[in-house]
Chain A
């Protein structure tokens, strides 16, 4: 009776289960039976049970209760039980399981077993799942077996040693002396394993590598023997004599010849011979040639050999087999930097591969094409790449787009071509481009001043066709806002003129504003562009005013803020409007990482509103950066809370800081005398004094004292402070939050400033309190601090 019948019966039954639930039920029943049988100490069906369990495990069900059974079976003297036990160990036990250590002793015994097959089982299991401890314990045994006379065991022992070296590289020293002598074996199995072992040893230890360099002549000799030998039926694969061994030897030669002239010279002839004589009509031959090419490229080979190698790769490119084309492109990618001209010769074929059906081939072709773009072929290559972009699979789009941008930036023959290319990419794949594309393109457009008219016409056309690509929409809105006057003039040399009315342009912008496809950023761009047009057009200013005021109550806070500010620009600061909305200056290209670098009109207008200074074209970046640098906490939020209370939009803005500043100016003269405390704020009966407690080189401790001289109690008094980025601020707990009337007691709060970079101390303090149910908020800027009471 064949031992597998019961197993096969079970498999048949499980396969006939019609539903997942039925299968699960059957398997649970079987597992219960198996578990019961395991508990019985000795029965004849142990192998069947474990085999059944392994099948269940392969289906994906838990089988950990079989681990101990594996251990028991391995220890059994019967070969059939050992065989299945070891298989179970390889499948169920891995080095993370504790039970794996239990089999170490069994393996050790079996390694010295008189039967080769048992030894082979032990070696195989050790090489498959041997943990570091097991390897350390059994390394000497393996060393002993390496010297064994039988080639069957020897080759297995060598591969086991490979596994040990991979797990514990230090043990490589144990096997190095023996490895050299193994190369003189005749048995191909032993030779193959020996080459693998030497490769592994050389890769991990540079000293060993130097030692093994002297084996190069021997390896060359073996290879020559393989190539020149006649037909050997045992090792022949498709006309190549033992391709597996040849590939392994070539790989070892590659490692030995790398960065070493002597070794590379010794193998030159051999490589040339292999390259010319190997028949590559079948995969086996191609595999050998491929390995040869990789070796030639990696060692210090002479130029003739390199040319030969590149030609082989070129031949591979024309092969019908897709696999061969794929690997040839992979290899060309590796050498495109060093042998650029050689690879350029095959550019045509590579570009054709862009049209291949296979996604892997396409990816390789794309990488290679991008690497082959140069100043001479930029126009033709870009055409191909743009065609590819429109048909490529979605996962490659982002990569293609960024590759095109980089290439265009490096080799653009003219600015117009550059702009056209970027526009084309945005139209085709705008959703997949990176975020900084928009500001980069805007920078580019501003620098190409003679092309403004052309650009804006093109962008307008693109916008009215399709508003779903957000990057395109943003750039288009910005340009229409900036160059709206040129757009309306409608005449341009390089492009077909369009007759547009102001309403057309405003319609386009409004569509963007109202469309559900537009992202919030795009809508912000559109709103600002609409605003800018108020100075560029003459007739429809009212329409613009109405658009802007509608958005003053928009849910989106960004849009609302901008709309309210623009409204204010119309109402209160109309005299400044033209100056504020003038043409932007050419953006400095050398500030890529600057957060202010991606300028649009909005940022500068914010700072212009909070400082009522006529900006105009001299809106320099400096005040804005200063303002942000100093007041990044309060400065930005300053405008927001003021804007969200619509009625107080205009009022507190000029009032607060300026009065504070006035006060400070008044008190400015007092600071020169040694006065312990300074009143920094006084308004509405609430006063705030500042006293410097101590000052060191890098730290200052201040105390704020708040006093109430009104008739009413002041409650919920809080202080908030902001300092420049280079200074650290630590506010201790205030003494209280209630200021009783009549100034009887005060609230004090200590603040520690640490200033390691010794920048100028500046501080902005915001007070907020509740007086008779009314919430008051005020901000004070402190530019100079009193010196301490004692110095």
Chain B
């Protein structure tokens, strides 16, 4: 895949991901031209068209057009499936996704796309594992970390360098989600989160 674009029926760009190095000026020009071509198509028409030397695969979901540019040897039908899978992921993540979700949370949409495709190719063909990875990454983002803390080897939680206990360190709270790092045995991950107001 060379690039993927998401744009509305009014011609507003909602997302653009380029997998080849292109100058900023050329990108703008290509986006403008392509939007014109795709928006001019009638509803019942074929999802494939030829534009410049690329094959364009596009599909309209509600008010958003999902448009991918693939190369000569790529399979157009499977690209349609890729687009559909991406929409399913967005749907699962946002819960009945609509265009406004993508407008107001565009950076999250990018994060999902980056977890799903890399360098223009699918990373994982299982929907479940992609969603799980995004969930974990989001959780990681929620926690604020002090510089002196280390990442624990299990990569889901942090631990203090000296005591391996869950401790308040100045104004930063260290959250350990793995039971091995809990300071007290009757403390569960959930209660810690509740205490922090994150659950």
Interface residues of chain A, those whose CB is within 8 Å of chain B, are 3-4, 7-8, 11-12, 15, 51, 54-55, 58-60, 77-80, 83-84, 87, 90, 94-96, 113-117, 120, 123-124, 127-129, 131, 152, 155-156, 159-160, 162-163, 166, 188-189, 192-193, 196, 234-235, 237, 242-245, 247, 251, 283-284, 286-287, 290-291, 294, 322-324, 326-327, 357-361
Contact = CB atoms under 8 A, between A and B. Distances in A.
A639 to B, nearest CB: 49
Given A83-B141, A360-B48, A323 B124 contact: no
B39 interface: no
A192 B141 contact: no
Given A94-B22, A117-B140, A291-B75, A156 B110 contact: no
A119 to B, nearest CB: 9
B137 interface: yes
Contacts of A359: 45
Contacts of B49: 360
B80 A188 contact: no
Mostly, the B contact residues are mixed
A117 B78 contact: no
Given A8-B104, A77-B145, A287-B81, 16 more contacts: A4-B105, A8-B105, A54-B106, A54-B107, A58-B15, A79-B145, A94-B21, A113-B151, A117-B133, A120-B115, A120-B137, A127-B119, A189-B123, A244-B122, A323-B47, A360-B50
Interface string B109-135: 011001100110111111111000100
Contacts of A189: 123-126, 129
Contacts of B23: 94, 96
Given A155-B123, A286-B77, A357 B105 contact: no
Contact of A361 (B46, B137, B144, B151): B46
Contacts of A94: 18, 21-24
Contact of A83 (B16, B48, B137): B137
Given A124-B118, A162-B121, A247 B75 contact: yes
B44 A322 contact: yes
Contact of B46 (A79, A159, A322): A322
B42 interface: yes
A247 B78 contact: yes
Nearest to B42: A357
A247 B78 CA distance: 8
A290 B80 CA distance: 13
B173 to A, nearest CB: 14
B76 A357 contact: no
A515 to B, nearest CB: 36
A84 B137 CA distance: 12
Interface string B49-60: 110000000000
Contacts of A322: 44-47
Given A77-B147, A323-B48, A234 B126 contact: yes
Interface string B72-114: 0101111011101100000000000000000111110011001
B118 A283 contact: no
B48 A117 contact: no
Contacts of B80: 283, 287, 323
Mostly, the A contact residues are helix
Given A60-B28, A322-B46, A357-B45, A80 B141 contact: yes
B162 interface: no
A359 B37 CA distance: 12
A11 B103 CA distance: 8
B155 interface: yes
A46 to B, nearest CB: 13
Contacts, number: 176
B192 interface: no
28 contacts: A3-B141, A51-B107, A58-B15, A58-B16, A58-B106, A79-B137, A79-B145, A87-B114, A94-B18, A94-B23, A113-B151, A114-B153, A117-B140, A117-B155, A120-B133, A159-B118, A166-B119, A188-B126, A192-B121, A192-B122, A235-B126, A242-B125, A283-B80, A286-B77, A287-B78, A323-B48, A327-B77, A361-B46
Interface in B138-161: 140-141, 143-145, 147, 151, 153, 155
Nearest to A124: B114
B13 interface: yes
A152 B118 CA distance: 13
A284 B125 CA distance: 13
Nearest to A196: B121
A117 B81 CA distance: 26
B37 to A, nearest CB: 11
User: What 5 pairs between A and B have smallest CB-CB spacing?
Assistant: A287-B77, A189-B124, A127-B119, A287-B78, A163-B119
A129 B15 CA distance: 17
Contacts of A12: 104
A361 to B, nearest CB: 6
A326 B106 contact: no
A361 B115 CA distance: 35
A58 B13 contact: yes
Contact of B125 (A120, A129, A235): A235
Contact of B110 (A59, A87, A192): A87
Contacts of A116: 155
A79 B141 contact: yes
A96 B155 contact: no
A196 B118 CA distance: 12
Contacts of A361: 46
A287 B84 CA distance: 13
B61 interface: no
A352 to B, nearest CB: 16
A96 B25 CA distance: 12
A83 B126 contact: no
Contacts of A163: 119
Contacts of B15: 58
B136 interface: yes
A121 to B, nearest CB: 8
B177 to A, nearest CB: 13
A284 B76 CA distance: 11
Interface centre among B19, B105, B128, B140 (most CB of A within 10 A): B140
Contacts of A127: 118-119
A120 B136 CA distance: 12
A360 B106 contact: no
A160 B45 contact: no
Nearest to B136: A117
B81 A237 contact: yes
Nearest to A325: B46
A473 to B, nearest CB: 34
A90 B110 CA distance: 10
Interface string B29-49: 000000000000010111111
B75 A287 contact: yes
Contacts of A4: 104-105, 107
